[in-house]
């Protein structure tokens, strides 16, 4: 089949103009365009998008649909042949991509290594859980649960149970497992629901994290820093003291010191010859097994995540690039509502429908909480969100505004996965106070065990605690007709990249440790 040529020069400029013009018609020219204030807001969105699209190199506008420059900078190719991983984007990093904003440069050797490490249970304390367990590719980089059940549980996704006997989980993971799509875009500089990993020049590494001053230098980016921490969590991957020495180190808070969590896991990797060869191939500062440190593993995992989960070729993207038929008429009307009457775009703004900021949306608090307590309580079932990082009372119950790319695939929704349908979370966001009052606890996707079930809704069912969350809400209610709600949801579906729907090809058949792939 003959390859299409990339648009360049004046033709590329025409494509930008066509996409923005089409969006202008949708946002400001429809019969129900809304109030003058909403039209002004839509015009501001247009200006942002136009400025944003002008940043895209003329050779980049075709995205993934046409031709990729496999010899681009960064030593990467559009397909990672040796790893069996094409990357969901199929694009080649800096210099030749369909992205609006820059993504991390591709590195085939790192990606091949990271793909295996992500799926290998060798980096968990009891060697019984991997990153993929809670961020599985068959569940669109989540696990389908409101709150994950980590180390000690058995099964995958909705079939996962809480484990048995002494190996059973001690608690649910307190927050929903967030999706991993587009975290390789350089604009994503905050990680976790509370943003506890973010750039900060006050730290030697240049990045603030739960490790404080002990975070190793040499990490490539914030995504790699994020990958350092699930292995340190007793609930997620480390296990419980004293059942293994990694768990004991985690219990003592020894992450980076001698005998710490990261050193122990690096020693395991040094003992697997296939991994040693891959580390040597991927990193210039590794010549032998003894040179491997866990931050190298985190860099590799991040490189693979950035490539495999890139998602910037949705109908919405193609529409902005000039394909006026890429979105349905209903989705176009939903887009107008999103940036207009529904006011979603005030927080879910920018290229990836996120401000990267934090907001209090009166989300029902379920599960074991993060150890916080409102005055008069001592059970730790509250979750103060961003306040846990900043120490500022005004940040209480504020959580990171997640990107809405592939949002139709990534339920349950909310920082604690309180909503199990896309329609449910949409209706909540349109009127959070009513959503809080009318919340149906039966929708929470939580593997049952009596002692866990007993506390799952204690916080939500307490009027004082529920009232505190409501009082902090920053979202004003919006009234839409039933037809408009359906149109808004149609637009959210138009944010789905078709390449993200089936990620089975990214799952390796086996891992170098020889540990089982099944959960």
Output the pLDDT for position 43.
55
Output the pLDDT for position 39.
53
Q: Quick one: average pLDDT of 457-472?
A: 98
| 3-state class (DSSP) for residue 381 | strand
491-506: pLDDT as tens digits: 999 999 999 999 999 9
Q: Quick one: average pLDDT of 341-359?
A: 97
Cβ contact 370:143 at 8 Å? no
Superfamily of domain 108-142+178-310: Cytochrome c-like domain (1.10.760.10)
- pLDDT over 90, % of the chain: 80
Output the pLDDT for position 48.
56
Inform me whether the pLDDT recorded for 93 exceeds 80: no
* Residue 89 pLDDT class (50, 70, 90 cuts): very low
Output the pLDDT for position 477.
98
284-311: pLDDT as tens digits: 999 999 999 999 999 999 999 999 999 9
Cβ contact 20:12 at 8 Å? no
22-63: pLDDT as tens digits: 555 455 444 344 455 555 555 556 555 544 444 433 233 333
Q: Quick one: average pLDDT of 390-400?
A: 98
- DSSP characters over 273-327: HHHHHHHHHH-TT-SSGGG--HHHHHHHHHHHHHHHT----SHHHHHHTT-TTSS
Inform me whether the pLDDT recorded for 95 exceeds 70: no
Whether the bond between 412 and the residue before it is cis, its omega within 30 degrees of 0, is yes
Q: Quick one: average pLDDT of 307-330?
A: 97
105-147: pLDDT as tens digits: 999 999 999 999 999 999 999 999 999 999 999 999 999 999 9
d(CA 169, CA 400): 27
- Closest to 115 in 3D by CA, of 318, 341, 308: 308
Inform me whether the pLDDT recorded for 2 exceeds 60: no
Cβ contact 468:401 at 8 Å? no
Output the pLDDT for position 290.
98
Output the pLDDT for position 35.
53
Inform me whether the pLDDT recorded for 507 exceeds 50: yes
* pLDDT mean across residues, the chain: 87
427 phi/psi in degrees, rounded to 5: -65, -35
By CB atoms closer than 10 A (0-12, 13-18, 19+), residue 408 is middle
b/e for 27-41, b at 16 or more Cβ within 10 A?
bbebeebbeeebbeb
- Residue of higher predicted confidence among 67 and 400: 400
Angle separating helix axes 261-270 and 294-308, nearest 10 degrees: 80
CA dist list (Å): 291 to 114, 224, 243, 265, 271: 17, 18, 28, 13, 12
Output the pLDDT for position 62.
32
d(CA 515, CA 379): 38
- Closest to 178 in 3D by CA, of 197, 162, 199, 154: 197
Min mean pLDDT across 80-94, 200-214, 434-448, 495-509 is at 80-94
Output the pLDDT for position 289.
98
| 3-state class (DSSP) for residue 34 | coil
CA dist list (Å): 137 to 132, 133, 134, 180, 508: 7, 9, 9, 10, 11
Min mean pLDDT across 90-104, 133-147, 192-206 is at 90-104
Output the pLDDT for position 38.
57
Half-sphere exposure of 229 (CA within 13 A, CB side): 16
Whether the bond between 242 and the residue before it is cis, its omega within 30 degrees of 0, is yes
Q: Where in the chain is the domain with CATH 1.10.760.10?
A: 108-142+178-310, 319-499
Output the pLDDT for position 42.
57
Inform me whether the pLDDT recorded for 431 exceeds 60: yes
Q: Quick one: average pLDDT of 512-519?
A: 95
* Tokens 């993971």 belong to residue: 173
Output the pLDDT for position 418.
98
CATH classification code of 319-499: 1.10.760.10
């Amino acid at each position: 089949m003959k390859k299409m040529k990339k648009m360049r020069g004046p033709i590329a400029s025409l494509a930008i103009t066509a996409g923005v013009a089409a969006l202008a018609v949708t946002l400001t020219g429809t019969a129900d365009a809304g109030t003058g204030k909403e039209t002004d807001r839509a015009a501001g969105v247009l200006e942002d998008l136009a400025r944003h699209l002008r940043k895209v190199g003329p050779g980049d506008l075709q995205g993934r649909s046409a031709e990729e420059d496999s010899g681009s900078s960064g030593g990467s190719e559009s397909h990672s042949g040796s790893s069996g991983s094409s990357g969901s984007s199929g694009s080649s990093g800096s210099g030749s991509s369909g992205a609006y904003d820059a993504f991390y440069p591709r590195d085939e050797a790192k990606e091949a290594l990271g793909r295996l490490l992500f799926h290998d249970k060798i980096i968990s304390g009891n060697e019984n859980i991997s990153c993929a367990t809670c961020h599985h590719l068959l569940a669109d980089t989540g696990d389908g649960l409101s709150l994950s059940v980590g180390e000690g549980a058995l099964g995958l996704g909705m079939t996962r149970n809480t484990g048995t006997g002494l190996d059973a989980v001690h608690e649910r993971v307190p927050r929903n497992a967030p999706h991993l799509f587009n975290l390789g875009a350089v604009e994503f500089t905050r990680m976790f629901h509370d943003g506890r990993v973010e750039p900060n020049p006050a730290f030697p590494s240049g990045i603030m994290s739960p490790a404080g001053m002990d975070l190793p230098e040499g990490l490539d980016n914030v995504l790699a820093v994020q990958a350092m921490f699930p292995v340190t969590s007793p609930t997620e991957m480390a296990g419980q003291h004293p059942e293994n020495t990694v768990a004991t180190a985690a219990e003592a808070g020894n992450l980076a010191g001698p005998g710490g969590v990261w050193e122990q896991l690096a020693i395991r990797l040094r003992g697997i010859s296939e991994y040693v060869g891959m580390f040597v191939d991927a990193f210039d500062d590794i010549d032998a097994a003894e040179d491997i440190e866990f931050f190298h593993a985190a860099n590799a995992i991040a490189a693979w995540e950035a490539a495999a989960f890139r998602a910037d070729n949705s109908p919405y993207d193609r529409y902005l690039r000039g394909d006026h038929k890429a979105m349905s008429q209903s989705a176009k009307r939903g887009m107008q509502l999103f940036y207009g009457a529904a006011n979603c775009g005030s927080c879910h703004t920018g290229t990836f429908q996120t401000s990267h900021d934090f907001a209090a949306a009166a989300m029902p608090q379920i599960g074991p909480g993060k150890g916080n307590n409102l005055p008069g309580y001592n059970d730790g079932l509250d979750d103060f969100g961003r306040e846990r990082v900043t120490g500022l009372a005004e940040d209480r119950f504020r959580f990171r505004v997640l990107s809405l790319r592939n949002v139709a695939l990534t339920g349950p929704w909310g920082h604690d996965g309180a909503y199990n349908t896309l329609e449910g979370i949409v209706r909540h966001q349109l009127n959070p106070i009513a959503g809080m009052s009318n919340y149906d606890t039966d929708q929470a996707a939580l593997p049952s065990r009596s002692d866990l079930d007993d506390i799952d809704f204690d916080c939500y069912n307490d009027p004082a605690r529920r009232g505190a969350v409501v009082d902090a809400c920053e979202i004003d209610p919006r009234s839409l007709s039933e037809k408009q709600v359906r149109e808004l949801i149609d637009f959210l579906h138009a944010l789905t990249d078709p390449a993200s729907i089936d990620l089975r090809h990214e799952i390796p058949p086996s891992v170098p440790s020889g540990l089982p792939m099944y959960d």
